[in-house]
Amino acid sequence: MSERALFIDYARCIGCQACVQACEECDTHRGQPMIHLETIRRRDSVQTAPQVCMHCEDPICAQVCPADAIKKGPDGVVHSALTHRCIGCSNCVLACPFGVPKYFAAIDQMMKCDLCYDRTSIGKKPMCATVCPSQALTFMTPEELERTRRGTAVNEWVFGEERVRTKVSVVVPHEVKEVHVNLVQLGKRREKAEPDDVAALLEEG
Amino acid sequence: MTPAKRAPPPSREALRAATVGLSASALLILGIYVGSRRFKDFDVALVPYAAATVFAAFALGYRYAIWLGRPPTKRYFQQSLAIFFTRGKILANTLGLARAVYGSLFTQRFIRERSTLRWLAHFCIMWGCLLAAAVTFPLSFGWIRFETPRDSQEMYEAFVFGVRVFRCRLDSPLASLMFNALVVSAVLVLVGIFLSLYRRSRDRGVLAVQEASSDLLPLILLFAISATGVLLTISTHFMNGFNYTFLSQFHAVTVILTLLYIPFGKFFHIVQRPTQIGVQLYKQEGAAGEQAKCARCGEPFASALQVGDLKRVQAELGIRYGLAGGGHYQDVCPPCRRKNLALLQDGMWGAVRRGGDPESKES
Ligand code: SF4
Ligand code: SF4
């Protein structure tokens, strides 16, 4: 049996915020959730989607870090910024293809999801996957996933021309071998919300 | 832990770094030569310390140069210098710099925001070490020398670079402060170490990620130096020199090991940390200038300065974020990147439902 891994299935997310609450309780960043829960296209859908660190094989966050503060462990987990090194420049925040790292101004440092290292390093599931009621976030073996899910898991991404391979995978239809991310798929939203379009106004904030 | 695997330093880089390292050592040796008046004031007993420092200077220079040579670091370095020396702004920048130095390096507010215990531990260790360094380096380089003058055994004279700067009575408070400066620094460091170990043994998050080699070794080294230092004083004053020779040799070994370790381990952050000041200047400049707007939502999300620099750095690193349609992925804000990923997956399933090709880029 292979090792357990983390899988994301955005489509399953019901926006309950359980992962955000549980993430806050992780010992390595207590009180601060590292997971992002996005509300997408509020104007015509209620879809929400969680985003954790994908733990890239050759993390771009680490490559653009001027302080050499982001390190990948031998187990493939990309850790939060080393506190004695991070100088709070936010290069990682802006360059991560998945939009993961968070900058905290008060401590002038970046923090990010470290796959609940206090838990996963001793064989426990990460907090988010433990509490997610719809299993949009799930921690299991690839075999279990194939057996129980429609679709397949991919961890190969292409951003423009940049190939990225990740430790965490996303569930997609069987035909898909890698995910191509291009501006075509970004979909522009209307320049200005109509005054009576409450949903769009909400999105504008 | 391994660093990112791309862009290993080519040999030209290594050569340049070695030159920087050698220059650092050479400068230090010159400083010792001149400062000790052609070795006249140089205490031969302290040669091992000075030699270890010269080696550390080489390694520090080498590593610093390699580090500054990394594309993102180099870019920040050049930009902060350029920003600082902008004509007409030097005075304002100097004031800003002083404020940043006070907040980040002196009071270290950003550490206190993490936890008071952590801040206190770090504060004690830092000031203890700085005090000790301020006393011992000039002594071992022969820059400072103390003597009892021939005409009076009660008095004490201090010379800096061979010039007498003051005289005081042996039993004066100033003299006892000077004699005990190292004891004060050792006690500060010891208090800091105990606070730090207390925190490290209780915080479960820290327990999960800390590493013996990088997080505990520095504490062990500092403990060994401070403890043997304090024991030396106790041996002299209260135990008639009990085990003095052994203790002083042991103390020397711990100090030399630590000097050699500075460039390679956690202590490297001492020379690295001041870049935080440059980055603060850079951020201020960026915030005051034009803002980059997201290609998807149109909202400003970062300074145009930083986004432009990042694109340059990415090109140097071989990160190719150029998009098929002519856009650049770096122009998409982080929230839109996250939303886009979910929409993408949604589009793939939609295509399957409609009997189409999920890999089609038109979703
Ligand atoms: S997903 Fe982003 S933060 Fe996580 S390892 Fe990759 S580049 Fe770094
Ligand atoms: S914010 Fe910290 S971890 Fe991120 S790139 Fe800057 S120095 Fe590195």
Query: Residue B362's pLDDT is what?
Result: 45
**Residue of chain B minimizing CA distance to A153:** B345
Residue B360's φ and ψ, nearest 5 degrees, are -60, 140
pLDDT-derived band at A161, boundaries 50, 70, 90? very high
Tell me if A157 CB under 6 Å of ligand 1.
Answer: no
In the predicted structure, residue B152 carries a pLDDT above the cut 60: yes
Atom 5 of ligand 2, nearest CA residue: A65
Atom 4 of ligand 2, nearest CA residue: A92
Contact B3 A64 (CB under 8 A): no
**Residue of chain A minimizing CA distance to B351:** A173
Atom 7 of ligand 2, nearest CA residue: A86
Query: Residue B191's pLDDT is what?
Result: 97
pLDDT-derived band at A171, boundaries 50, 70, 90? very high
Interface of B with A in 25-64 (CB under 8 A): none
Contact A65 B72 (CB under 8 A): yes
Contact A181 B340 (CB under 8 A): yes
Tell me if A60 CB under 6 Å of ligand 1.
Answer: yes
What is the B273 CA–ligand 1 centroid distance (Å)?
Answer: 24
pLDDT-derived band at A197, boundaries 50, 70, 90? low
In the predicted structure, residue A140 carries a pLDDT above the cut 60: yes
How do residues A77-122 score in pLDDT, each as one tens digit? 999 999 999 999 999 999 999 999 999 999 999 999 999 999 999 9
Distance from CA of A1 to the nearest CA of B (A): 26
Residue A114's φ and ψ, nearest 5 degrees, are -120, 30
Tell me if A112 CB under 6 Å of ligand 1.
Answer: yes
**Residue of A36 and B37 predicted with greater confidence:** A36
pLDDT-derived band at A186, boundaries 50, 70, 90? very low
How do residues B187-233 score in pLDDT, each as one tens digit? 999 999 999 999 999 888 888 888 878 889 999 999 999 999 999 88
pLDDT-derived band at A204, boundaries 50, 70, 90? low
Query: Residue B317's pLDDT is what?
Result: 97
Q: Identify any residues that bridge with A102 across adjacent strands, giving them in sequence order.
A: A111
In the predicted structure, residue B148 carries a pLDDT above the cut 70: yes
pLDDT-derived band at B234, boundaries 50, 70, 90? confident
Determine the residue of A93, A112, A155, A165 to mutate for testing ligand 1's pocket, defined as the one with the most ligand atoms within 8 A of the Cβ atom. A112
Query: Residue A185's pLDDT is what?
Result: 47
Across the range A165-190, mean pLDDT stands at 80
Determine the residue of A29, A36, A58, A61 to mutate for testing ligand 1's pocket, defined as the one with the most ligand atoms within 8 A of the Cβ atom. A61
Q: Tokens at residue B270, please?
A: 């001492």
Interface of A with B in 91-120 (CB under 8 A): 91, 93-100, 106-109, 114, 117-118
Tell me if A127 CB under 6 Å of ligand 1.
Answer: no
Query: Residue A135's pLDDT is what?
Result: 95
What is the A124 CA–ligand 2 centroid distance (Å)?
Answer: 28
Query: Residue A143's pLDDT is what?
Result: 93
Distance from CA of B253 to the nearest CA of A (A): 26
Contact B203 A27 (CB under 8 A): yes
**Residue of B252 and A187 predicted with greater confidence:** B252
Interface test with chain A among B267, B340, B363, by most A beta carbons within 10 Å: B340
Query: Residue B240's pLDDT is what?
Result: 76
What is the B16 CA–ligand 1 centroid distance (Å)?
Answer: 32
Contact A66 B72 (CB under 8 A): yes
pLDDT-derived band at B17, boundaries 50, 70, 90? very high
**Residue of A189 and B357 predicted with greater confidence:** B357
**Residue of chain B minimizing CA distance to A13:** B342
**Residue of B16 and B162 predicted with greater confidence:** B16
Query: Residue A45's pLDDT is what?
Result: 64
In the predicted structure, residue B282 carries a pLDDT above the cut 60: yes
Q: By C-alpha distance, which of A77, A66, A4 is closest to A34?
A: A77
For chain B, give the secondary structure using H, E and C: CECCCCCCCCHHHHHHHHHHHHHHHHHHHHHHHHHCCCCCCCCHHHHHHHHHHHHHHHHHHHHHHHHHHCHHHHHHHHHHHHHHCCCCCHHHHHHHHHHHHHHHHHCCHHHHCCCHHHHHHHHHHHHHHHHHHHHHHHHHCCCEEEECCCCCCCEEEEEECCEEEEEEECCCHHHHHHHHHHHHHHHHHHHHHHHHHHHHHHCHHHHHHCCHHHHHHHHHHHHHHHHHHHHHHHHHHHCCCCCHHHHHHHHHHHHHHHHHHCCCCHHHHHHHCCHHHHHHHHHHHHHHCCEEECCCCCCEEEEHHHHHHHHHHHHHHCCCCECCCCCEHHHCCHHHHHHHHHHHHHHHHHHHHCCCCCCCCCC
How do residues B84-128 score in pLDDT, each as one tens digit? 998 888 898 899 889 989 988 899 999 999 999 999 999 999 999
Query: Residue A202's pLDDT is what?
Result: 59
**Residue of chain A minimizing CA distance to B333:** A94
- Mean pLDDT (chain B) is 89
